[in-house]
């Protein structure tokens, strides 16, 4: 509190008035998404084929740092096998259509053919069918028999029941995933998932998500997990921001969690992988995620456009089928190219949606980064107009 001196307009004498401090209810932090930043070229250029983009989580190393989202429109056993043979890791949704129905293709066809106004109620009905243990074993078995790494995703509420079944069936990597996941959970109805116990019971890589803040990421890392998924609300088929108002733009979210990774590395000596999940549409977005601190990315809609994707040109979120409060929407993404072309080219479009691996290697070479960890050090600038600067003719031709 301060005192201000004021003169009386009648007598001219001075008097003091107590000045109350200006209070703010809360501070609002500025956060940034992919379209609001740009990468600064380095002082030395590197040939793209000299870059190393390997991604390691515990005892598994992938030749490309890309995970396919655990969504039914993207990953089935055949897609998981093909994606792993190309160097990435596809995550199978263990609570999805593949483990609820003997003939999932029939159900997927029904989803693709249903009018928009009816699709949410249809999905709610489809996902009310119980998960069947024998189908868990069959789907995992198909992936393993082909010699591919098998990663599966379960929600925290069903991890205790389904993870042991998946482990016995031969899964390699466990992903525990929900819209928002924290190390601590308060509930009167059930005892929440205790991650340290899970890490002791499952001697295999465990990835947990999703989160978007420094504190939440650090607490999750301290439970003993091997990777965290970063992203709340940015996905193409996700409506979490619209429905419950929750979400953090991905550049800021990734920076927050990468900072937590460095803190945890200093205190424990363990390096926990940070995986940016959601909102990545183009090679440019993917490159910016790595510059913000990601060790790998998880992508959905770009892969849903592959001819091998089971969604038949559609994509829908994991929360779309919630019985009371759906937080997703079915989007038509179309079928644009084979999976290998989307990952490695040659690209037939100029909007950055194909040859994602080539884009990453080229960006790293331009930015003087030989490895992903060197990519973490690349300078970023805030550049809200970077997509439109000098792009008049692209804009008038409506070119993305």
CA–CA–CA angle 247, 153, 359 (5° rounding)? 65
Question: Of 287, 181, 282, which is closest to residue 236 (Cα–Cα)?
Answer: 282
Q: For the chain, give the mean pLDDT.
A: 89
The whole-number average pLDDT for the span 371-390 is 91
| Residue-wise pLDDT tens digits, 58-115 | 999 999 999 999 999 999 999 999 999 999 999 999 999 999 999 999 999 999 999 9
How do residues 14-36 score in pLDDT, each as one tens digit?
A: 556 566 677 788 888 899 999 99
pLDDT digits (tens, 9 = 90+) for 345-371: 998 888 899 999 999 999 999 999 999
Write down the pTM of the prediction.
0.90
Domain membership of residue 374 (yes or no) is yes
Residue 48 sits in a domain whose CATH number is 3.20.20.70
What pLDDT score does 181 carry?
80
User: Which residues are paired to 382 by β-bridges?
Assistant: 37
Question: What integer pLDDT is reported at residue 1 of this predicted model?
Answer: 52
Cα gap 232→180, rounded to integer Å? 7
User: What is the pLDDT averaged over residues 166-175?
Assistant: 96
Q: What is the pLDDT of residue 346?
A: 94
Q: How confident is the model at residue 382 (pLDDT cuts 50, 70, 90)?
A: very high
Say how many C-beta atoms besides its own lie within 10 A of residue 137's C-beta. 16
In this structure, what are the phi and psi dihedrals at residue 24, rounded to the nearest 5 degrees? -115, 135
Distance CA 92, CA 73 (A): 11
Candidate list 238, 257, 287, 367, residue with the active-site label: 238
Task: Give per-residue pLDDT as tens, 201-226.
Answer: 889 999 998 899 999 999 999 999 99
Catalytic status, residue 238: yes
Q: Domain for residue 322, yes or no?
A: yes
Number of domains making up the chain: 1
CA dihedral 65, 295, 281, 249 (to 10 degrees): 160
Residue whose entry in the numeric block shows the structure tokens 């949704």: 93
Q: Does residue 323 form part of some domain? A: yes
Coil/strand/helix, residue 306:
strand
Spatial neighbors of 394 by CB under 8 A, at least 6 apart, are none
287 within a domain of the structure (yes/no) = yes
Q: Is the pLDDT of residue 380 over 90?
A: yes
Q: What pLDDT is recorded for position 71?
A: 92
Range picked from 59-63, 115-119, 388-392 for highest mean pLDDT: 59-63
Please check the confidence at residue 239 and state whether its pLDDT lies above 70: no
Residue 13 lies in a domain: no
Cα end-to-end distance, the chain, whole Å = 54
Tell me, yes or no, whether 11 lies in a domain: no
Domain assignment present for residue 383? The answer is yes
178 is in which domain, residue-wise?
Answer: 34-396
Active site residue 327: no
Helices (H), 249-391: 250-268, 283-291, 301-304, 339-344, 356-366, 372-375
The yes-or-no verdict on residue 171 having pLDDT over 90 is yes
Average pLDDT over residues 124-153: 95
Q: pLDDT digits over 153-170, tens only? A: 999 889 999 999 999 999
On the question of pLDDT at 7 being above 70, the answer is no
Is pLDDT of 185 > 80?
no
């Amino acid at each position: 509190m301060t005192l201000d001196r004021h003169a009386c307009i009648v007598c001219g004498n001075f008097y003091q008035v107590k000045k109350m401090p200006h209070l703010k209810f809360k501070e609002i932090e500025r956060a940034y998404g992919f379209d609001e930043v740009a990468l600064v070229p380095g002082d030395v250029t590197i040939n793209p084929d000299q870059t190393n983009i390997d991604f390691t989580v515990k005892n598994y190393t992938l030749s490309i740092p890309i995970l396919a989202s655990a969504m039914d429109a993207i990953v089935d056993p055949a897609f998981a096998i093909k994606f792993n043979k190309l160097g990435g890791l596809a995550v199978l949704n263990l609570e999805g259509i593949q483990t609820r129905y003997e003939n999932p293709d029939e159900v997927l066809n029904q989803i693709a053919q249903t009018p928009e106004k009816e699709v949410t109620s249809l999905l709610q009905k489809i996902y009310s069918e119980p998960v069947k243990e024998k189908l868990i074993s069959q789907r995992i078995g198909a992936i393993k028999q082909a010699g591919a790494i098998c990663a599966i995703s379960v929600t925290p509420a069903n991890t205790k029941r389904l993870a042991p079944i998946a482990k016995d069936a031969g899964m390699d990597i466990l992903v525990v995933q929900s819209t928002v996941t924290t190390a601590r959970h308060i509930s009167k109805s059930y005892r929440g998932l205790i991650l340290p116990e899970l890490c002791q019971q499952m001697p295999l890589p465990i990835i947990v998500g999703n989160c978007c803040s420094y504190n939440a990421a650090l607490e999750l890392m301290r439970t003993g997990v091997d990777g965290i998924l970063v992203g709340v609300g940015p996905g193409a088929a996700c409506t979490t921001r619209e429905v419950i108002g929750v979400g953090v733009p991905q550049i800021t979210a990734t920076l927050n969690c990468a900072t937590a990774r460095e803190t945890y590395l200093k205190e424990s000596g363990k390096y926990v992988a940070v995986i940016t999940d959601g909102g990545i549409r183009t090679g440019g977005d993917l490159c910016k995620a790595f510059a913000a601190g990601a060790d790998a990315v998880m992508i959905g809609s770009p892969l849903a456009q592959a001819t091998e994707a089971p969604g038949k040109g559609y994509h829908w979120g994991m929360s779309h089928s919630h019985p009371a409060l759906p937080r997703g929407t079915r989007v038509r993404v179309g079928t644009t190219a084979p999976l290998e072309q989307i990952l490695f080219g040659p690209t037939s479009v100029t909007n950055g949606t194909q040859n994602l691996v080539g884009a990453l290697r080229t960006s790293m070479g331009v930015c003087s980064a030989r490895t992903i960890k060197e990519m973490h050090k690349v300078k970023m600038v805030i550049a809200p107009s970077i997509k439109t600067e000098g792009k008049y003719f692209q804009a008038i031709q409506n070119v993305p």
